[in-house]
Amino acid sequence: MGRVFVAGSINMDVVATAERHPKIGETVAGREVLYFPGGKGANQAVSAAKLGAPTTLIGRLGRDSFGQELKTFLAAQGIDVGFLQESADAHTGTAIITLANSDNTIVVIPGANGLLTPTDVSMPPLAPADIAVSQFEIPVTTVAAFFKRARASGATTILNPAPATLFCRELLDLVDVLILNEIELGVLTKTGLSDSDDIARFVDAARSLQAGGKPIICVTLGKRGVLALTDGQPLVIEGRAVRAVDTTGAGDCFVGAVAAQLAAGKSIGDALGYANVAASICVQRMGAAPSVPTATEVETAVVLTKKPNAVRP
């Protein structure tokens, strides 16, 4: 089995729950304030670790109480925290989240995440069976350095380009598997995609990012499931009908699950089906990192999902 290395952000999520989201300029009364470990990098590492992969997280925290709390939490999930560093010059990353009707808005203040350097990600040793995962809550130059190194080691790279940012072809050429949602796909392809669009529109947009059938592209479509372009062909995995209470971190749970499955030697098709089930469990719980299911929970749900759910449209 390979190891999953995640270079990414670690945040304390400060969540205000309310009956509905305020409009611009409006104040609404909330219900409660909750604190959850989060950050796209941390969530993805928690997912990979809980779903069975030996996992290392490379990141930066501030020298403050959020930082200490988050490090303790991550270590308790079985993650190797030996490559987490403390920055004296910045606070721990913080996300201000409003949650209403299971949907969120998020403002991220990067703090120490913005100080993760190419040198930081050059330290851990990577091997050919390993999976290198990253996102855009750390500097893009650091992501590029991490993937160059991963490629040189023969490892597989997974990029989750979130929050959506335009980036150069040179970086995309370092990516083996690109996992993004429909909003991010719309930004990267400069098309106005919406979640109710025909699958064919997503296929066309995803294809426009490929060169010679690469990278594998996987578009998460919320309750509609997942669309992937593997071997140049579209593959649709139906969403599972569940009652969502909080979708925060579901995409990260998906990314970590794909990484863990690939590290275990599974095919991309199997990995995507498994990750789809993992994310469907995640949305039924509050919080980002704490809502990731265990491998046993996912396996039980996979058995209960009787009909085959992957089809070539």
Q: Give the binding site for ligand RIB (CB under 6 A).
A: 9, 11, 13, 38-40, 43, 95, 106, 108, 137, 248-249, 251-252, 288
Closest CA to 15 of 251, 277, 245: 245
Nearer to ligand RIB, 39 or 161 (CB): 39
Least distance from C-beta 289 to ligand RIB, angstroms? 7
Least distance from C-beta 181 to ligand RIB, angstroms? 10
Phi, psi of 295, rounded to the nearest 5 degrees: -60, -40
Residue type, 192: G
Least distance from C-beta 263 to ligand RIB, angstroms? 21
Least distance from C-beta 311 to ligand RIB, angstroms? 28
Residue type, 253: C
Nearer to ligand RIB, 154 or 163 (CB): 163
Q: What does the alpha-carbon distance between residue 97 and residue 103 come to, in Å, rounded to a whole number?
A: 10
Query: Could you say which of 130, 198, 252, 270 is catalytic?
Result: 252
Nearer to ligand RIB, 115 or 203 (CB): 115
> Would residue 252 show up in a list of annotated catalytic residues for this protein?
yes
DSSP notation for 134-166 = EESSS-HHHHHHHHHHHHHTT-EEEEE--S---
Phi, psi of 141, rounded to the nearest 5 degrees: -65, -35
Nearer to ligand RIB, 26 or 32 (CB): 32
Nearer to ligand RIB, 8 or 124 (CB): 8
Catalytic residues: 252
